[in-house]
Structures are given as C-alpha cells and as structure tokens.
C-alpha cells in the first residue's frame, strides 16, 4: 500500500520532518542548514561552477549541432504561441520575486561589499557590481533552465513519455524509471523545487513587508512577515480550490504589463542616458569577461564572496530548474531545438539586463552622482533597497505600491504554479493532479518559507537552497548524458517518432 | 577457409607449449603453419633465433606428418606491425596469438601485442585466452569446442564473421547467438526494437540450423563489450566470434568493442575484420 503514491509520501515525509524540526527548534534547524551548507560549499563549490558552465556550453553546442533541427514535439506540430507571446512567458518564468528583490539590492550590495582587492564604493566596485549582476542573472541561469526544459520537452513531447524528470532517464535506466531509481529522481526534484520556491517566497514576503513598512508604516517584524505569508497562501489556495486558472493567467499577463510599465517609467523619469551607458558598458564588460567569471572560484582570495553570491545563485537556479523547466517545456512545444535554445537563452537574458540596468543603474546614479546615500538603508535591511531608491523619484508612494502589488501577484502566481508542478511531479506526471495534493504542497511550501525565515532569515533560505541543489546537480549532469544519447539515437536511426 | 595460419612465437618458447597449439589448430582444418618470430631484444642475435626456429620446425615435422607444412621467418622490428604485414604478405587465412599473462600494471606500461594486432589486423585473428584449455587433448579427432558465442549486430561485419563460423561448424558442440544493442530512448521504440531483433535472430537461427547441432539465441541491452564478456562468463563459452567494425571517434580513445573484449575476456576470441 505504501508503494502507491510513493513519491508523494516520501517527499512529504522528508519535508514534514524538516518543518517539524523547525517548529520544535528553529535554532537546531538553522544549525543543521549551516552545517550542511558549509560542507557543501567547502567541498563542492567548484562543482557548482563547473556544472553551470557545462550546461551553458552544452546548450550552445546543441543549438548549432546537427540536432538543432529536431522538433520538440512530433514533426507535424507547430508552435502554440507567437514569438511575442512565447518571449513574454519565458521572461515571466524566469523573472518574478527574485528579480524585483535583487534588481537594486544586488548591485548596491556588491558596490558596498566587493571582493577584497576592489575598493568599496568606488567606480571599480560599481562596474564590478553590474557585471556580476549580469553574470548571476544572465546566460547561466537560462543555460540551466534550458537543459532541464529541453530534456523534459524532448522526452515528453517527442518520445511520448510522462512529463516527469525520471522520464528523461529512460536511456540509462530503462524500465527502472518506474521503480526505486525513478522514484528517487522524482523525490530529489520535488525536494529541490520545494526549497527553491520557498527561498523565493521567503524573499518575496520579506520585501512585501519592507515595502508596506516603508510606504505605509506597517510593523516591520517577523510576525508581520509571517502574516503576509499566511494571507498570500490563503489567496493562492482559494485560486487553487476554486480553479481560477484563467484568472491566474490573466493576473500573470497583467503583472508582466505592470512590470514593463515600471521599467519604462523608471527609464523615462530616472537617469535615462546614464542607464543606457550602464547597459552598454556592462554588456561589453560581461561579454569580455564571461569565460573568466564562469570559472572563477577565487581560491586564493575572496572565496567567501564567491560562496556567498555566485555559488548561492547557481544552486538556487538548479533548485528552481524543475519548476521553470516544466513550465518552459510546456510553452515551447512545437519549436525546434535550435529555435528553442537561442530564443530562451538570449531574449530573457537581454530583458533581464535591461531590468538591472534600469534599477541597478538608477540606484548607482543616486549613490555616485547625486550623492544620495542609499547604502546605509540597504546595509540595515537589504529588502528595503528598491523602496529606498523609489523615494528619490516622483510618485514614490504610487510606484512603491505598484512594486508591492507586483510582488504580491508574483507570489500568488508563482506559488500557484509551484503547487501545480509539485502536484504533477507527485502524481506520475498527471496534467490534472488531485486537488488534495495541490493543497498539501501549497501549505507545505509556505510553511517551509515561514519556518526558514524564523529559523535564520534570508541566510537560512539561501543555505537550504544550496543544500537541496547538490544532489540535483548530479541528476542534471546525468540528464545531459541521457539527452545526448537520445538525440544521437534518433539521428542514427533516422526514425520518425 | 582456415588452411593457412600465421603463428607468432617468442624466442625460446618451450616446445611443449608450441605442440598443443599446432594440435589445436589442426582441428580447424589448418594445414600450413607459418611460424614467425619478431626480434625485439638485443639479448640474442637473429642468427640464434633462426637456429632455434629450425630446431622447432624439425621437431614439428617429426611429430606432425599428416598433410601439414611448416615454414618460419625471423624479423626485426615492431612486433604487431610485422605480424599483420606478414599475414597479408603471405596471404595467410588467419593469425593465431596466445597472449602472455601480464599484470595490469605491466600491460599499461608495456602494452599488449594481442590488443595492438586486434586493432590493426586485416586478417581474421584467433586470440587464445584461458578457455578452451588445450594442455592435454587426448584425441584430436574427437575434440570439439564446448560452446561458441557469435556476437552479431546484423551488420556487414557480422556477415563476414558468419562465413568463418560456418567453417568452424565441425568443431562446435553448441552455438550461441547473441545480439547486444543499445536501449531505445522510450518504451515504445524499445518494444519495436526488441521485436525487430527477435525476428532477425530467429531468421539467423533458421539459416544456421542446418549447419549446427544446437543453437540458442539471446538478446541483451547494454554496452557491447561488457555484455559479451559477462555473457561469455555466465555461459562458460570457449570461443567468441566477432566481426570488427571501426567506429570513428570514440574507438580511438576508448578502444573498439573487440579490443575491450580481448582484454577482459577469459574466453578466446576469433575476430573477423
């Protein structure tokens, strides 16, 4: 009896055990996550960098290889969305709470606290901050998502298998994907997704709380953050139960429109030519240094900085990849591999660069050119970064409120999508997972976010994301092998699937 | 088809080791034995080697009187290259090698002649490993290989190997047909593939049934060299018959299937290039 729904049961047990530990003793959970995190980063930090770089290189190689003409679907299938619709949804998939949170926070953080050999709060640290923001949010995350989504799309749409991570392992495991090895892979994917999403939800809740405190003077306490999580959880649970899929889609599209409006507003009202200068210059910097940055573990100095930022990001993206991968696979059906990779790699990256140039550039302009010190506020609470910047522009309350609404909607839509994905992953790939599973995962992921916040705040969230991502990195590397095997097999057999 | 063999021997190899080899090979219908020694050391001269070879030939001609011919030659140079070149030059039917038992470290440092020959030979090559044991063959007329494994991928290389297989039929008790293939990327394609292989094996079995007493067929999924070796061990096969097809790229680095089989197998290998 236990073997039925085993992925759901085992994943739930593991996560409940952690949730239970967090409730029983937040300190113990914090210590545990720190211990795991320290060991992983010390021994496997280089592995994350190499893996992420490999995924990016493989993506580019596949795009221009003889496999590029293979369709992600049957040969007669056409893409379901126009280019514009497809690009918008790609960007929405990768964007979200994280981009709003870090759009200002990251450049300013690097500007204030660069690696040792760079003088803090200097021109050099400003250039460094933008370059590394581009690195952390640019091609590498999309390389990671592409490998995941390409594998899922190929095996489910072209090979007719269920849309599960374990399906991508059929070449290596054969029918064992329906047994213990397959279950383990799916459980690892669930585990990675839970903690990847929880990190985003936790960051979102923190920033909503900061925004409300900043704009409306509401309390800036952990309790209030937990209330925000509870309220938003209720909202997306209602949408899940009632089945407001169309409403969520509409909300998501409106949110993208609102985000675009915000960018345009900042571009016009903010230091326009400065922003363009930052964009162009950083693009050149990034292109020039991408190889070095990709593999720089800084073993001789600044290893702590690399641990704190780059390694965390690569782990976070890997933890997010099942969630983003499944979504991106679904919307990319009918496209060729080349079209898919080039579109998914460059277009969202470019839009992300624009976002960072606008918000990060505006923040650096305030700090360096206009002499408004925003670093002090950011040092005290990094989640206030965006709102502190808005204070220096017209209609700051309105713009801040728009940002809060953006965060709220992203929270709801991301959480709703996440419950669907988790439900699907624990229901043998069913596109209509049972409601009870979706509700369970919805409550679980919000609980994990809440408990980690209480246990150790932002740091605890980051540490657990890194821990959850390590086993899944191995899974992704093996996934590359399976994908190459299957593509090579197809070409060799010249077989119409 | 196996009338003439090139038999490389090392200097001062005991006659009691050479004689069973000759005895063993005569059961395949081999009548012409071309003994080759390639001098790769300065501890003895070519003259010494030739004198020693003459003594061996003399003894062999005394012991083997029924329609067998023996010749020899001594060369200097690279062993495996000379063996392969001479086999072509003298138009032998096949090459017969008994590899020396070397430890893994020595094999890594010094290399393996049998592997080198396998990699470049243009002539069929019989590499005699642990099985079949030929230390004491009481009655050569009644000697048969217990079981022979024919590994086929239904390709051109396997077709070439099949001609020699039919030639060996008098010496074989049981023939095992084995197809090793890679797994298809999805269950539907895998099932189609499995059925196709089964159909082809049945056809092959029907074609060979008139020539062999007992034939069994099997199909496996996995890496060819590993599966062949494991299967040969499981069934305690005496001889593996294999066609060689040089895959570009990976075989240059990892070695071909036949190279990997010859280095790992305890059963003998008959390779048809």
- Judged by CB atoms closer than 8 Å, whether chains meet at B185 and A155 is answered as yes
- Judged by CB atoms closer than 8 Å, whether chains meet at B184 and A485 is answered as no
Per-residue pLDDT reduced to its tens digit, A225-273: 888 889 888 888 887 787 656 666 777 778 888 888 999 999 999 999 9
Nearest-Cα distance to chain B for A9, in Å, is 26
Per-residue pLDDT reduced to its tens digit, A47-75: 999 999 999 999 999 999 999 999 999 98
Name which of A62-71, A372-381, B1-10, B32-41 the model is least confident about: A372-381
Q: What is the predicted ipTM?
A: 0.78
Per-residue pLDDT reduced to its tens digit, B64-99: 877 889 999 998 888 888 899 999 999 999 999 987
Closest CA to B27 of B160, B211, B173, B208: B173
> How many Cβ pairs closer than 8 A exist between chain A and B?
32
Residue A303 burial class via C-beta count within 10 angstroms: exposed 0-12, middle 13-18, buried 19 and up: middle
- Which chain A residues in 246-305 lie under 8 Å from chain B, judged by CB atoms? none
Strand ordering across the sheet containing B214-221: B69-76, B32-39, B4-8, B94-97, B125-127, B268-272, B239-243, B145-151, B172-181, B214-221
Per-residue pLDDT reduced to its tens digit, A269-302: 999 999 999 999 999 999 999 999 998 877 777 7
Closest CA to A364 of A97, A95, A105, A134: A105
Tell me which chain A residues have a C-beta less than 8 angstroms from the C-beta of B219.
Answer: none
Choosing among B182, B186, B221, B222, which should be mutated to test the A contact, i.e. which has the most A CBs within 10 A?
B186
Average pLDDT over residues A414-429: 87
Of the partner residues B182, B187, B188, the one whose CB lies closest to the CB of residue A489:
B182
Q: Is residue A93 predicted with pLDDT exceeding 60? A: yes
The neighbouring-strand residues paired with B178 are: B151, B218
Global pTM reads 0.85
Q: Is residue A496 predicted with pLDDT exceeding 50? A: no
For residue A336, the 8-state DSSP code is: B
- Note whether A486 contacts B: Cβ–Cβ < 8 A: yes
Q: How far is B160 from B165, CA to CA, in rounded Å?
A: 9
Choosing among B154, B185, B196, B250, which should be mutated to test the A contact, i.e. which has the most A CBs within 10 A?
B185
Residues of chain A with pLDDT > 90, as a percent, come to 42
Q: How far is A342 from A308, CA to CA, in rounded Å?
A: 30
**DSSP secondary structure letters along A139-176:** HHHHHHHHHHHHHHHIIIIIS---SSTGGGGHHHHGGG
Q: How far is A170 from A178, CA to CA, in rounded Å?
A: 9
Two structure tokens written together for A27: 């300190």
Nearest-Cα distance to chain B for A482, in Å, is 8
The neighbouring-strand residues paired with B147 are: B174
Q: How far is B265 from B118, CA to CA, in rounded Å?
A: 14
- Note whether B248 contacts A: Cβ–Cβ < 8 A: no
3-state secondary structure of B145: strand
- Judged by CB atoms closer than 8 Å, whether chains meet at B188 and A160 is answered as yes
Choosing among A73, A155, A159, which should be mutated to test the B contact, i.e. which has the most B CBs within 10 A?
A159
- Judged by CB atoms closer than 8 Å, whether chains meet at B184 and A175 is answered as no
> Which residue does chain B place closest to A171, by CA atoms?
B185
Closest CA to A486 of A266, A227, A174, A207: A174
Average pLDDT over residues B217-221: 94
Tell me which chain A residues have a C-beta less than 8 angstroms from the C-beta of B182.
Answer: 485, 489
Q: Residue A182: its pLDDT value, please?
A: 94
Length of chain B: 273
Q: Decide which of B71 and A204 is more confident.
A: B71
Nearest-Cα distance to chain A for B111, in Å, is 31
Choosing among A170, A175, A429, A493, which should be mutated to test the B contact, i.e. which has the most B CBs within 10 A?
A170
DSSP H or E stretch at residue B147: strand B145-151
Half-sphere exposure at residue A119, Cβ-oriented, CA atoms within 13 angstroms: 3
DSSP H or E stretch at residue B146: strand B145-151
> Which residue does chain A place closest to B185, by CA atoms?
A171
Query: What is the residue-averaged pLDDT of chain A?
Result: 87
Per-residue pLDDT reduced to its tens digit, A438-471: 899 999 888 888 887 887 766 776 777 778 888 8
**DSSP secondary structure letters along A274-300:** HHHHHHHHHHHHHHHHHHHHHH---SS
Place B108 in a pLDDT band, splitting at 50, 70 and 90.
low
- Which chain B residues in 203-242 lie under 8 Å from chain A, judged by CB atoms? 221
Place B249 in a pLDDT band, splitting at 50, 70 and 90.
very low
Q: Residue A186: its pLDDT value, please?
A: 93
Tell me which chain A residues have a C-beta less than 8 angstroms from the C-beta of B188.
Answer: 159-160
Q: Is residue A495 predicted with pLDDT exceeding 60? A: no
Average pLDDT over residues A121-142: 94
Two structure tokens written together for A2: 């236990």
CA A383, A388, A391, A395 torsion-angle sign: negative
Length of chain A: 497
Q: How far is A215 from A217, CA to CA, in rounded Å?
A: 6
Max Cα–Cα distance, chain B, nearest Å: 67
Q: Residue A497: its pLDDT value, please?
A: 43
- Which chain A residues in 161-220 lie under 8 Å from chain B, judged by CB atoms? 161, 170-171, 174-175
């Amino acid at each position: 009896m236990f073997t039925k729904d085993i992925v759901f049961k085992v994943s739930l047990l593991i996560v409940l055990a952690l949730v239970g530990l967090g409730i029983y003793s937040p300190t113990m959970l914090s210590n545990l996550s720190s211990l795991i995190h320290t060991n992983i980063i010390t021994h496997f930090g280089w592995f994350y960098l190499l893996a992420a770089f490999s995924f990016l290189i493989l993506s580019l190689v596949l795009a221009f290889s003889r496999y590029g003409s293979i369709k992600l679907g049957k040969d007669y299938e056409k893409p379901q969305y126009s280019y514009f619709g497809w690009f918008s949804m790609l960007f929405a998939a990768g964007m979200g709470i994280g981009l709003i949170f870090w759009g200002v926070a990251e450049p300013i953080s690097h500007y204030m606290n660069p690696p040792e050999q760079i003088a803090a709060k200097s021109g050099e640290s400003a250039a460094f901050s933008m370059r590394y923001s581009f690195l952390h949010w640019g091609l590498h995350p999309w390389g990671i998502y592409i490998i995941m989504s390409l594998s899922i799309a190929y095996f489910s749409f072209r090979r007719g298998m269920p849309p599960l991570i374990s399906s991508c392992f059929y070449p290596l495991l054969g029918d064992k994907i329906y047994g213990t090895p397959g279950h383990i892979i799916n459980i690892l994917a669930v585990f990675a997704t839970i903690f990847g999403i929880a990190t985003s939800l936790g960051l979102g809740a923190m920033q909503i709380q900061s925004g409300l405190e900043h704009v409306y003077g509401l309390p800036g306490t952990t309790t209030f953050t937990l209330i925000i999580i509870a309220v938003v959880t209720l909202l997306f649970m209602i949408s899940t139960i009632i089945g407001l899929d169309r409403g969520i889609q509409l909300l998501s599209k409106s949110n993208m429109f609102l985000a675009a409006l915000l960018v345009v507003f900042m571009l016009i009202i903010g230091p326009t030519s400065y922003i363009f200068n930052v964009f162009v210059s950083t693009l050149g910097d990034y292109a020039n240094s991408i190889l070095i940055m990709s593999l720089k573990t800084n073993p001789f100095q600044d290893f702590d900085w690399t641990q704190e930022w780059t390694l965390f990001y690569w782990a976070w993206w890997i933890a997010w990849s099942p969630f983003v991968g499944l979504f991106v696979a679904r919307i990319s059906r009918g496209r060729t591999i080349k079209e898919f990779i080039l579109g998914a790699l460059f277009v969202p990256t470019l839009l992300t660069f624009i976002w960072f140039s606008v918000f990060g550039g505006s923040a650096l302009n305030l700090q360096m050119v206009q002499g408004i010190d925003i670093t002090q506020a950011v040092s005290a609470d990094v989640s206030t970064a965006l709102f502190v910047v808005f204070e220096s522009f017209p209609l700051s309350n309105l713009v801040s409120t728009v940002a809060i609404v953006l965060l709220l909607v992203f929270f709801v839509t991301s959480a709703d999508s996440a419950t669907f994905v988790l439900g699907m992953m624990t229901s043998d790939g069913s596109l209509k997972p049972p409601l009870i599973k979706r509700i369970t995962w919805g409550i679980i992921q919000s609980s994990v976010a809440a408990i980690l916040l209480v246990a150790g705040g932002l740091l605890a969230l980051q540490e657990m994301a890194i821990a959850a991502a390590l086993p899944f990195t191995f899974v992704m590397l093996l996934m590359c092998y399976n994908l190459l095997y299957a593509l090579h097999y197809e070409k060799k057999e010249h077989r119409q699937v | 088809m196996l009338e003439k063999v090139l038999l490389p021997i090392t200097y001062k190899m005991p006659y009691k080791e050479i004689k069973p080899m000759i005895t063993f090979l005569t059961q395949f219908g081999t009548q012409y034995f071309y003994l080759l020694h390639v001098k790769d050391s300065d501890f003895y001269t070519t003259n010494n080697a030739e004198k020693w070879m003459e003594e061996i030939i003399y003894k062999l001609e005394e012991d083997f009187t029924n329609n067998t011919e023996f010749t020899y030659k001594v060369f200097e140079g690279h062993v495996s290259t000379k063996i392969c070149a001479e086999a072509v030059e003298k138009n032998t039917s096949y090459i017969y090698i008994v590899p020396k038992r070397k430890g893994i470290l020595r094999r890594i440092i010094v290399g393996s002649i049998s592997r080198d020959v396998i990699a470049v030979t243009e002539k069929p090559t019989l590499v005699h490993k642990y099985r079949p044991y030929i230390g004491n063959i009481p009655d050569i007329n009644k000697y048969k290989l217990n079981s022979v494994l024919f590994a086929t991928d239904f390709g051109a290389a396997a077709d070439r190997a099949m001609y020699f297989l039919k030639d060996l039929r008098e010496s074989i008790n049981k023939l095992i047909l084995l197809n090793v293939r890679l797994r298809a990327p999805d269950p539907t394609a895998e099932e189609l593939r499995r059925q196709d292989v089964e159909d082809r094996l049945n056809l092959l079995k029907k074609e060979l049934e008139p020539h062999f007493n007992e034939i069994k067929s099997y199909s496996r999924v996995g890496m060819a060299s590993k599966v062949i070796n494991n299967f040969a061990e499981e069934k305690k096969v005496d001889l593996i018959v294999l066609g060689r097809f040089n895959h570009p790229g990976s075989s240059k680095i990892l070695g071909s299937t036949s190279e990997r089989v010859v280095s790992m197998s305890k059963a003998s290998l008959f390779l048809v290039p």
